[in-house]
Amino acid sequence: MTLTVAPHRAPAAPQRGRGWSGLPTAGLLVGVVLLAVVASLLIGAKLVSPLDLWRDGSVGQGIIQARMPRTVLGVVVGAALAVAGGCLQGLTRNPLADPGLLGINAGATFAMVIAVSVFGIGSLSGYVWFAFVGAALAMVLVHTVAAFGAGGATPAKLVLAGAALSAGVASWTAAVLLRDKATFDVLRQWQVGTVGGRGWDVILTALPFLVVGAVLALTGARTLDTLALGDDLAKGLGRRTAVDRVVVGLGIVLLTGTATALCGPIGFVGLVVPHMVRTLVGSAYTRVLPLSAGFGAALTLLADVVGRVVWAPSEIQVGVMTAIVGVPVFVYFLRRGRMAGL
């Protein structure tokens, strides 16, 4: 990886994959994320003065304190989804892969519905675990089904198995919900995808899973670059592709499973952010994944901030806003150049 020193002015429409070397881009991203964090702490349905943070017992202090976990959650979940999405696209070599594709969201949703309906668990801190286990089981099941037959778990078979499982599990979920209105009410709140209203306790419990997932996914970047050459070539280079897939897959499950359990399904980020990053730095995963993390965090957080103010005094959940805010950004990147291949 050679780094070119960027000029001290904004580069004029650089070509794809060149001119935007890693370091300045990373610096820029860190800046954007920091800006988003500040905005997330200061902007909301109710205007508060930043000074309130030091006024004990004031309403403003409570509001800023409540925005803190929300901000942290936006950063980690946005980053997790974007990285997992990038990994999935590499693993399945399918540009349309997103965390919803492999049945992860469907599994998490179904497990959560079972938790509420059968076990009578009514609170987030309780069913978060079910959602997580459901996501993991779905992924394992998809991988097992895809591994049948010749050639093992090929990308195409993974996608097929994921789509089939999603459809099947979604119908089970619907069956439970039709019989149980109380569960439907709980699910309705969770299914939109939100980073608001979660306390530190839930976030801190989930953090280790996210960290392990991120380590597995980011260290898998080289693996993905090799897999991108095709299985035969990768094997020829001495990679054990099956083991590689399981390791990266585990990272994906940890990231998306935890993110989905925490916030409900948030779409768009995992699908689109890696593509945006590829238009900047090309398709090497060693660069795509870390930058996706920053991009995902910034996009999710900004989407949440916009969702807080466009419809005041109510809020629009981030699961809705990521797409609304994300589409124009995505179009801008598309216009800058052709999508990088996988």
The single residue among 100, 196, 213, 296 that binds other proteins, judged by CB under 8 A, is 196
Nearer residue to other proteins within complex by CB, 23 or 38: 38
Tell me: does residue 56 bind other proteins (CB under 8 A): no
How many residues comprise the chain?
A: 342
| Per-residue mark of binding to other proteins, 99-118 (x: CB under 8 A) | -----------------x--
Tell me: does residue 59 bind other proteins (CB under 8 A): yes
Query: What secondary structure, in 3-state letters, does 265-328 show?
Result: CCCCHHHHHHHHHHHHHCCCHHHHHHHHHHHHHHHHHHHHHHHHHCCCCCCCCHHHHHHHHHHH
Tell me: does residue 265 bind other proteins (CB under 8 A): no
Contact 127, 108 (CB under 8 A): no
The single residue among 33, 88, 186, 273 that binds other proteins, judged by CB under 8 A, is 186
CA 4, CA 7: separation in Å to the nearest integer?
9
Residues 120-149 that bind other proteins (CB under 8 A): 120-124
- Contact region for other proteins (CB under 8 A) — 63-71, 102-110, 146-154, 203-211? 63-71
| Per-residue mark of binding to other proteins, 290-329 (x: CB under 8 A) | ------------------x---xxxx-x------------
Tell me: does residue 70 bind other proteins (CB under 8 A): yes
CA 308, CA 328: separation in Å to the nearest integer?
19
Nearer residue to other proteins within complex by CB, 19 or 60: 60
- Contact region for other proteins (CB under 8 A) — 55-63, 85-93, 229-237, 248-256? 55-63
Contact 81, 253 (CB under 8 A): no
The single residue among 30, 49, 156, 185 that binds other proteins, judged by CB under 8 A, is 185
Classify residue 54 by its DSSP letter. G
Q: Which two tokens stand for residue 265?
A: 């399904």
Q: What's the burial of 199, exposed, middle or buried (CB within 10 Å: 0-12/13-18/19+)?
A: exposed
Q: How far is the CB of 283 from other proteins (least distance, A)?
A: 29
Give Cβ neighbours of residue 336 (< 8 Å, ≥ 6 apart): 13, 16, 279
Q: Which residues make up the interface to other proteins (CB under 8 A)? A: 44-46, 59, 62-63, 65-66, 70, 116, 120-124, 178-182, 185-187, 189-190, 192, 194, 196-199, 264, 308, 312-315, 317
